[in-house]
Amino acid sequence: MRLTVLLATAATATAALAQQEPAAPAEAAEIAPGYATDADLRDAAQGLFGVILPAAPPADGIEAARRELGAQLFFDPRMSSSGLFSCQTCHNVGMGGVDALPTSIGHGWQKGPRNAPTVYNALFNAAQFWDGRAADLAEQAMGPVQAAVEMNNTPDQVVATLNSMEPYREAFAASFPDEAEPVSFANFATAIAEFEETLVTPGAAFDRWVNGDDAAMTPEQKRGLALFMDSGCAGCHNGVNFGGHDYYPFGVVERPGAEVLPEGDRGRFAVTETASDDYVFRAAPLRNVALTPPYFHSGAVWSLPEAVDIMANAQLGTELAEADIGAIAAFLTGLTGEQPQVPHPVLPPRTDETPLPAPF
Amino acid sequence: MRLTVLLATAATATAALAQQEPAAPAEAAEIAPGYATDADLRDAAQGLFGVILPAAPPADGIEAARRELGAQLFFDPRMSSSGLFSCQTCHNVGMGGVDALPTSIGHGWQKGPRNAPTVYNALFNAAQFWDGRAADLAEQAMGPVQAAVEMNNTPDQVVATLNSMEPYREAFAASFPDEAEPVSFANFATAIAEFEETLVTPGAAFDRWVNGDDAAMTPEQKRGLALFMDSGCAGCHNGVNFGGHDYYPFGVVERPGAEVLPEGDRGRFAVTETASDDYVFRAAPLRNVALTPPYFHSGAVWSLPEAVDIMANAQLGTELAEADIGAIAAFLTGLTGEQPQVPHPVLPPRTDETPLPAPF
């Protein structure tokens, strides 16, 4: 449903762009090539992108209970078989919702297959993971817990761990009051998802500017926004998250080198087993992108301008001028929102019934 | 200095205990063997143990700045060479200040040599680490960062990492305003120590009882306290932290088995190279001990009653009755204080100058 809405918005916006007059030669009076005023640029941007709103307060006591429980589960390393890893390990709430590693370090010091995407604003993505294999945040939350290269746990052990601590049993009962067995792996995932839905980053320079504050973005950022829309970036990176809602081959025009696009990872092909999904990935959401290097599913690129350059080549067949790359990167930095203030939860103490961490 | 004070207090208390009349046979009217009233028991306890007070607000802007900076450093995994580990990894503020593992998992999935002690109330210890090899919290903070089996970093790389991010440079300048080069490894450690000094746990049942609330401890806990004092536990585990200020051989009377006391770890001998320090360890501080299994420097024992039983055998040559072990364990549970509420800090974003995590 949300996907449809976003695509419709994008289509409308594309039509609106097509109706624009061809860009006149740059004049001092223009705020960006093809846009005379902030209002002109804003009109175009509003058709393509959404604004992040602060998380709503919980609707009721159940939602409040689920958020609180979800925060505990998100931060609890006992959800991994080793006792070392929690959701927070790879989706650090103090570091833009990522781990700032090319690919995550997991159980037994194994190397994860893909760069950890940010948990911030993840609720606005149409699907989760780089290949969209999870429909929503709750389905996503079930993945890393069980992945042998990540938390290496089992649903049964997670449920046994939760059931061993009375404060968890009480929190599940309060969060899922109509259920006979509230402590379940599905409810574990639901509670984490409801906590994650609070992790949004309103107040970015872009959002403030869209909302009418002309001074919120610099002239270079406005030029970058115009380039972002008119060079084609916004064809995939649109919607409230500037991406995250549809799938595209990495290398539409020119396939990047193996370091950036490793041959062994064929992306969405592994999900759909359809030839046309070879090397297809979900367009990365670009909110807070300046906080989340390294870039791409391979995590191979640390510099935002370099990532912009690679994308322009690979997806658009365009060799951007260095100043234009800089302007687009400056604009993208304007997508950094206010980072959530998350209290570190106090976790229930283990009991004699709590499964021990895996022998080490 | 503090050590002297604590020992003097303990000596006074021991003298006070010696002056008591021999314990009369237990009567229903006694609250614990040898103590007729809460006031009697409190008199004895006050001579031996201290009460935890809430952390004082920062004395000035510098202390406030150091605490805030120290919290960021404590939570920043980029202080490790891999980018995976922070102080918080092994001293989790949501889990009693420990990692709940026998010994910590460190760089390259290596096994740490000893159980991670709690960071809570650690400022009240006379020295840090199981062997007391660090004089204070700041000296301690320099250890794990550099240990090859823990964070595996170097002071130079820590300083380079900090210098690469302007918010860190500004925070160090505000925290150490009189210094020409405020960003230093020593100041890194000082800031972490000042944050850690706020991690205290007032309000335990014991403290509330000492402060006059007779109902704060159960009858079993009071009996446990009496046993704790009169069986000899309090000979080493005294002071505000119920331990943490002096060194004793593990196995004063009978050396535990190799699983609990591995032969390869000779404790303080490695620090002093003095034969009398063979298998000598700092008496573990027992605040929040119910939250911090597994026990001993080996982390070999998960059950608090079992740990009490082992200690009575090894240190006192006493075979305690099961009910007495239970009472002492119940009393120790009354040392669980209010856990600090720690906001997860937002960390400065990396820059192009920030050293990359170690190749993986």
Measured distance CA(B150)–CA(B234) in Å, rounded: 33
Q: Is the pLDDT of residue B272 over 50?
A: yes
Measured distance CA(B212)–CA(A77) in Å, rounded: 38
Measured distance CA(A57)–CA(A140) in Å, rounded: 23
Alpha helix segments (H runs only) across A36-184 = 38-48, 61-75, 87-90, 137-146, 155-163, 166-175
Nearest to A342 by CA among A165, A87, A9: A87
Query: With pLDDT > 70 as the criterion, what percentage of chain B qualifies?
Result: 92
B158 touches B189 (CB < 8 A): no
pLDDT band (50, 70, 90) for residue A130:
confident
Measured distance CA(B69)–CA(B182) in Å, rounded: 12
Q: What average pLDDT does the segment A301-330 reach? A: 96
Instruction: State the pLDDT at residue B1.
Output: 32
Token pair listed for B73: 């450093």
Token pair listed for B48: 């031996």
* B180-222 confidence digits (pLDDT tens): 999 999 999 999 999 999 999 999 999 999 999 999 999 999 9
- At residue A310, φ and ψ (nearest 5 deg) are -65, -45
pLDDT band (50, 70, 90) for residue A86:
very high
* Whole-number average pLDDT of chain A: 91
Annotated catalytic residue, options B30, B150, B194, B196: B150
pLDDT band (50, 70, 90) for residue A187:
very high
In chain B, positions 45-74, which contact chain A (CB-CB < 8 Å)? 72
Q: Is the pLDDT of residue A292 over 60?
A: yes
Instruction: State the pLDDT at residue A251.
Output: 84
B150 is catalytic: yes
Q: Is B344 on the interface with A (CB under 8 A)?
A: yes
Pairing relationship of beta strands B110-111 and B105-106 according to DSSP bridges: antiparallel
Measured distance CA(B74)–CA(A228) in Å, rounded: 38
Specify burial of residue B251 (Cβ count, 10 A radius: 0-12, 13-18, 19+): middle
- Do B344 and A109 make contact, defined as CB atoms within 8 angstroms? no
Instruction: State the pLDDT at residue B14.
Output: 43
Q: What angle do CA B106, B111, B115 make, to 5 degrees?
A: 95
Q: What angle do CA A265, A271, A274 make, to 5 degrees?
A: 90
Q: Is A343 on the interface with B (CB under 8 A)?
A: yes
Lowest-confidence pick of A256-265, B51-60, B135-144, B330-339: A256-265
Q: Is A349 on the interface with B (CB under 8 A)?
A: yes
Q: Is A350 on the interface with B (CB under 8 A)?
A: yes
Q: What average pLDDT does the segment B53-71 reach? A: 97
- Secondary structure of chain B as H, E, C letters: CHHHHHHHHHHHHHHHHHHCCCCCCCCCCCCECCECCHHHHHHHHHHHECCCCCCCCCCCHHHHHHHHHHHHHHHCHHHCCCCCCCHHHHCECCCCCECCCCCCEEHHHEECCCCCCCCCCHHHCCCECCCCCECCHHHHHHHHHHCCCCCCCCHHHHHHHHHCCHHHHHHHHHHCCCCCCCCCHHHHHHHHHHHHCCCCCCCCHHHHHHCCCHHHCCHHHHHHHHHHHHCCHHHHCCECCCCCCCEEECCCCCCCCCCCCCCCCCECHHHHCCHHHCCEEECCCCCCHHHCCCECCCCCECCHHHHHHHHHHHHHCCCCCHHHHHHHHHHHHCCCCCCCCEEECCCCCCCCCCCCCCCC
- Do B356 and A84 make contact, defined as CB atoms within 8 angstroms? no
Rg (CA), chain A: 22
Nearest to A302 by CA among A288, A313, A316, A291: A291
The Cβ-side half-sphere exposure at B74, using a 13 Å CA radius, reads 31
* B133-188 confidence digits (pLDDT tens): 888 899 999 999 999 999 999 999 999 999 999 999 999 999 999 999 999 999 99
Q: Is the pLDDT of residue A339 over 90?
A: yes
Q: Is A98 helix (H, G, I), strand (E, B) or coil?
A: strand
- Do B347 and A95 make contact, defined as CB atoms within 8 angstroms? yes
Lowest-confidence pick of A268-277, B79-88, B162-171: A268-277
Q: What is the ipTM for the molecules in this complex?
A: 0.90
- Spatial neighbors of A228 by CB under 8 A, at least 6 apart, are A234, A237, A328, A331, A332
Q: Is the pLDDT of residue A14 over 60?
A: no
pLDDT band (50, 70, 90) for residue B129:
confident
Q: Is B350 on the interface with A (CB under 8 A)?
A: yes
Q: Which residue has the tokens 């992945």?
A: A147
Q: Is the pLDDT of residue B308 over 90?
A: yes
Q: What average pLDDT does the segment A194-198 reach? A: 97
* Whole-number average pLDDT of chain B: 91
pLDDT band (50, 70, 90) for residue B20:
low
Query: With pLDDT > 70 as the criterion, what percentage of chain A qualifies?
Result: 92
Instruction: State the pLDDT at residue A2.
Output: 37
Q: For B298, left (φ over 0), alpha (ψ -120 to 50), or beta? A: alpha
Q: Is A75 on the interface with B (CB under 8 A)?
A: yes
Measured distance CA(B137)–CA(B191) in Å, rounded: 10
Nearest to B241 by CA among B117, B140, B122: B122
Measure A307 CA to nearest chain B CA, in Å: 13
Q: Is B108 on the interface with A (CB under 8 A)?
A: yes
Q: Is the pLDDT of residue A273 over 90?
A: no
Q: Is the pLDDT of residue B5 over 80?
A: no
How far is residue A272 CA from its own chain's centroid? 22
Instruction: State the pLDDT at residue A249.
Output: 86
The helix-helix angle for A61-75 and A166-175 (nearest 10°) equals 140
- Report, as residue numbers or ranges, the catalytic residues of A: 150
Q: What angle do CA A65, A69, A73 make, to 5 degrees?
A: 165
Instruction: State the pLDDT at residue A8.
Output: 38
Q: Which residue of A has its CA nearest to B289?
A: A349
Global pTM value: 0.91
- Do B82 and A105 make contact, defined as CB atoms within 8 angstroms? yes
- Do A302 and B356 make contact, defined as CB atoms within 8 angstroms? yes
Measure A108 CA to nearest chain B CA, in Å: 6
Q: Which residue of B has its CA nearest to A306?
A: B352
Nearest to A84 among B95, B105, B291 (CB): B105
pLDDT band (50, 70, 90) for residue B2:
very low
- Do B94 and A347 make contact, defined as CB atoms within 8 angstroms? yes
Q: Is A38 helix (H, G, I), strand (E, B) or coil?
A: helix
Residue A106's DSSP bridge partners are A110
Specify burial of residue B17 (Cβ count, 10 A radius: 0-12, 13-18, 19+): middle
Task: Choose from A295, A347, A353, A354 for mutation: most chain B CBs within 10 A.
Answer: A347
Q: What average pLDDT does the segment B245-258 reach? A: 87
Token pair listed for B126: 């006379």
Identify the H or E element spanning A183.
none
Residue A248's DSSP bridge partners are A281
Q: Is A339 on the interface with B (CB under 8 A)?
A: yes
Instruction: State the pLDDT at residue B22.
Output: 52
Instruction: State the pLDDT at residue A15.
Output: 44
Q: Is the pLDDT of residue B16 over 60?
A: no
Q: Is A78 on the interface with B (CB under 8 A)?
A: yes
Token pair listed for A265: 């990872």
What residue ranges in A49-150 does DSSP mark as E strands?
105-106, 110-111
Token pair listed for A193: 């998802």
For residue A26, the 8-state DSSP code is P
For residue A28, the 8-state DSSP code is T
pLDDT band (50, 70, 90) for residue B264:
confident
In chain A, positions 188-217, which contact chain B (CB-CB < 8 Å)? none
* B233-251 confidence digits (pLDDT tens): 999 999 999 999 888 888 8
Alpha helix segments (H runs only) across A164-256 = 166-175, 185-196, 205-210, 219-230
* A28-60 confidence digits (pLDDT tens): 579 999 999 999 999 999 999 999 999 999 999
